[in-house]
């Protein structure tokens, strides 16, 4: 931690800051600069809560060198992690995985039909929402437990492991009964009670980046799950909110190689939610893989025009098959 004093900071103010640091059991190293003095803080072994000094007279700025996460950090765990979902290995040098399925489970016929189609086309995992977070209360909220059962059945029949979203701590148990990978949606990335409960569950977790979460906040959210003893976390870049509304969100692909430098966790990308536009899903799915993603999430619906949610961004089964055919030569290029 570095404390930057203001231009006019007085000797006594600098002394008071040094004293406060020492009260915290740390060492203070004054660095008299050209325009002002900075004070280096030594001896901490992790992130320091700055509130005791930040506020002392004369202090202009407090700069953190340590990060609010450690367990997820590559610095403390240099080799890439692999998370196993069903019989699928995700991360490290493994071939990227494709997770496909409808935004929401709507009926047995819809999810079965989709599951068979994506399995046939070569998907590795089946996705489908049973509990749906929706902006307003007056729209379709998902089939809930019935949806979970339909999804699980489709997974069993096709032999695909299944992914679905969990929205609250008290439903972790029931969702964990039916799903192989538990998804935390962007709106819940900082629902800390949910993260802790998932940490205790030990089940593989797919943590989506919040719409306005910095990469540091994203990794700190994953830290909550690992801190409860669950190392099975897969990150997912799903687009951030920016000033531009031409796409539903802005897919931040550079976050993928950057997170691979900062963390050992696998990271996937969701071009469907990110772009919100079918025609952009195929190019962005491929771009994500070239950027280093360990997998992609793609929304597929047999009849997008009849979908109860997110129709415009869903691929048809035919579109999806076409995408999978484009991925084969791409895997060759990537060396898988």
Which 265-294 residues touch a second copy, going by CB under 8 A? 271, 274-275, 277-280, 283-284, 286-288, 290-292
53 counts as binding a second copy under rule CB under 8 A = yes
* Residue 216 within binding range of a second copy, rule CB under 8 A: yes
Of residues 44 and 84, the one with the C-beta less far from a second copy:
44
Q: What's the CA gap between 140 and 137, in Å, rounded?
A: 8
Which of 143, 307, 317, 323 touches a second copy by CB under 8 A?
307
Work out which of 12, 109, 157, 170 binds a second copy, going by CB under 8 A. 170
Report the C-alpha gap between 195 and 163 in whole angstroms.
Answer: 17
Is 87 a residue that touches a second copy (CB under 8 A)? no
Please state the closest distance from residue 87 (CB atom) to a second copy, in A: 29
Question: Please, what's the b/e burial string for 216-244 (b: 16 or more CB within 10 A of its CB; e: otherwise)?
Answer: ebbbbbbbbbbeeebbbbbbbbbbbeeee
> What angle (nearest 5°) sits at the alpha carbon of residue 320, between those of residues 264 and 238?
35
Is residue 22 a contact point for a second copy (CB under 8 A)? no
Within 222-241, which residues bind a second copy (CB under 8 A)? 223-224, 227, 240-241
Task: List the one residue from 143, 256, 297, 298 that touches a second copy (CB under 8 A).
Answer: 256
Per-residue binding string, a second copy, 176-215, x by CB under 8 A, is: -----------xx-xxxxx----------------xx-xx
Are the C-beta atoms of 252 and 224 separated by less than 8 Å? no
Compute and round to an integer the Cα radius of gyration of the chain: 23
Residue 51 binds a second copy (CB under 8 A): yes
Q: Which residues pair with 236 in a beta bridge?
A: 208, 268
- 315 contacts a second copy (rule: CB under 8 A): no
Contacting residue, 13, 24, 54, 122, with a second copy by CB under 8 A: 54
| Residue 158: partners with Cβ closer than 8 Å, 6 or more residues away | 115, 116, 119, 126
Residue 294's φ and ψ, nearest 5 degrees, are: -85, 0
**Closer residue to a second copy (CB): 11 or 243:** 243
Query: Least distance to a second copy from the beta carbon of 169, Å?
Result: 6
On the 0-12 / 13-18 / 19+ scale of CB atoms within 10 A, 55 is exposed
Instruction: Give 126's strand partners.
Output: 100, 162
Residues 97-156 that bind a second copy (CB under 8 A): 133-140
């Amino acid at each position: 931690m570095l404390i930057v004093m203001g231009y006019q900071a007085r000797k006594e103010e600098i002394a008071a800051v040094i004293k406060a640091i020492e009260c915290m059991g740390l060492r203070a190293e004054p660095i008299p600069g050209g325009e002002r003095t900075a004070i280096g803080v030594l001896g901490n072994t992790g992130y320091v809560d700055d509130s005791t000094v930040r506020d002392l007279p004369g202090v202009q700025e407090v700069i953190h060198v340590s990060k609010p996460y450690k367990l997820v950090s590559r610095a403390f765990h240099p080799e890439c992690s692999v998370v196993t979902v069903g019989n699928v290995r995700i991360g490290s040098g493994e071939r990227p995985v494709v997770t496909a399925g409808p935004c929401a489970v709507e009926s047995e016929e819809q999810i079965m039909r989709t599951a068979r189609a994506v399995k046939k086309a070569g998907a590795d995992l089946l996705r489908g929402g049973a509990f749906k977070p929706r902006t307003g209360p007056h729209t379709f909220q998902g089939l809930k437990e019935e949806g979970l059962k339909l999804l699980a059945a489709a997974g069993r029949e096709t032999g695909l492991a299944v992914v679905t979203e969990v929205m609250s701590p008290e439903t972790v148990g029931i969702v964990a009964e039916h799903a192989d990978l538990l998804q935390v949606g962007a709106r819940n990335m900082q629902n800390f009670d949910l993260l802790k409960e998932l940490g205790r569950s030990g089940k593989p977790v797919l943590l989506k980046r919040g719409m306005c979460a910095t990469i540091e906040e994203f990794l700190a959210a994953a830290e909550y799950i690992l801190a409860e003893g669950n190392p099975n976390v897969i990150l997912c870049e799903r687009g951030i909110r920016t000033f531009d509304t031409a796409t539903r969100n802005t897919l931040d692909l550079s976050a993928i190689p950057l997170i691979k430098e900062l963390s050992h966790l696998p990271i996937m990308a969701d071009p469907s939610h990110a772009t919100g536009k079918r025609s952009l899903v195929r190019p962005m799915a491929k771009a994500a893989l070239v950027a280093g993603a360990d997998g992609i999430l793609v929304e597929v619906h047999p009849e997008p025009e009849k979908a109860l949610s997110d129709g415009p961004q869903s691929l048809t089964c035919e579109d999806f098959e076409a995408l999978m055919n484009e991925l084969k030569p791409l895997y060759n290029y990537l060396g898988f």
